[in-house]
Structure 1
Amino acid sequence: MKIDELKEFMEIIEQSSIDIMKLEKGDFKLFYQKQGAENLVPNFENQHMNTDTVLPLPSLDVADLTVNTADQAESSLHVIKSPMIGTFYARPNPDAEPFVQVGAMVAQSETVCILEAMKLLNEVPADVNGEIIEILVNDGQIIEYGQPLFTVKVSE
């Protein structure tokens, strides 16, 4: 599946009333969840999909797709995703300390990074309380919409 096809697929789901989508074709498994939907971890074993709702989807060529099978089975993990396309900045200015580092505790709504888009700097807040487990992107990297930025171990 090419990036453009995947983006088209995501746009179709975002515009529909479906909150969570699971797709399986051979060894290829895709789980897509809208931002704001209940945080779920997919379990692809011994489950059957409800086929009552059918959406027009781009053609899938599983041979062209590279799948990252990172294990996120632990339900206390949450991924902060990019709300927009832009350039990722870990610090407010080049001389400052990063907003967060691995091991840092963050509070919901606390700024974790800045995304620059069209010369505008947009603060990205944490959407949960917890500990930063992993920073998934590099300072200055171009980020896509929905791209995972941080893994957070949610505190209760």
Structure 2
Amino acid sequence: MEFKHIKQIVDLVKRSGLTEFELEEKDFKLRLCRKSDEVQAIFQGGTPVPFNSTAMPFPATPAGGAEQASAAPEAAKEVDESKLIKSPMVGTFYSSPSPESPPFVAVGDSVSDDTVVCIVEAMKVMNEIKAEAKGSIAEILVENGDNIEYGQALFRLK
């Protein structure tokens, strides 16, 4: 595995908030563990690539963490979970198929089970996300290009 691919994986782990990641290929094994503000990389098999895990420190808390944490319980009480379209994976949210294209959906658009509402990029793979529910888009909860978590609400339906 090339160093640039390892760096991409480390960056994805950094953005996603994962605490542990493991990848195995034929004669190569990569395991990333995050403890406190540091990533520990363990390589097995093949020729290990020099890697300075302290060169990429992780923030202890996300920016605005205190404000977001206090607002989250209030928002969770008001939102009907059955009316949310959630992300099935960690990745980067894209509202349209390309920068020049219009968004898949906008507020007020009707959606059905098989309507594509966005793309989530994970490890350079573009995954179309379907609504898997019927209704109309009441609110778009993330911005184009945002890093998103597994289970994070992306859209709220009416």
The TM-score with structure 2 as length reference comes to: 0.52
Q: Per-residue deviation at 1:72?
A: 2.4
Matched, 1:124 2:129: yes
Q: Which of 141, 145, 148 is the matching residue for 2:146?
A: 141
1:113 is paired with a residue of what secondary structure?
A: strand
Corresponding residue SS for 1:66: helix
- 1:72 aligned to 57, 62, 79, which one? 79
Q: Corresponding residue for 2:91? A: 86
Unmatched segments (≥5 aa) in structure 2: 1-17, 20-68
**Residue in 2 aligned with 1:102?**
107
Q: CA RMSD in A?
A: 2.2
Question: Displaced runs of 4+ in structure 1, greater than 3 A?
Answer: none
Task: Give the total of aligned pairs.
Answer: 90
Q: 1:72, 1:141 → 2: CA distance?
A: 21
% identical equivalent positions: 48
By how many angstroms is 1:138 displaced? 0.2
For residues 72 and 144 of structure 1, the distance between their equivalents in structure 2, rounded to whole angstroms, comes to: 18
Larger Rg, first or second structure (1 or 2): 2
1:107 Cα offset (Å): 1.1
Q: Distance in 1 between matches of 2:141 and 2:71?
A: 16
Higher helix share: 2
The alignment's TM-score, normalised by the length of structure 1, stands at 0.53
- Tell me the CA shift for residue 131 of structure 1: 0.4
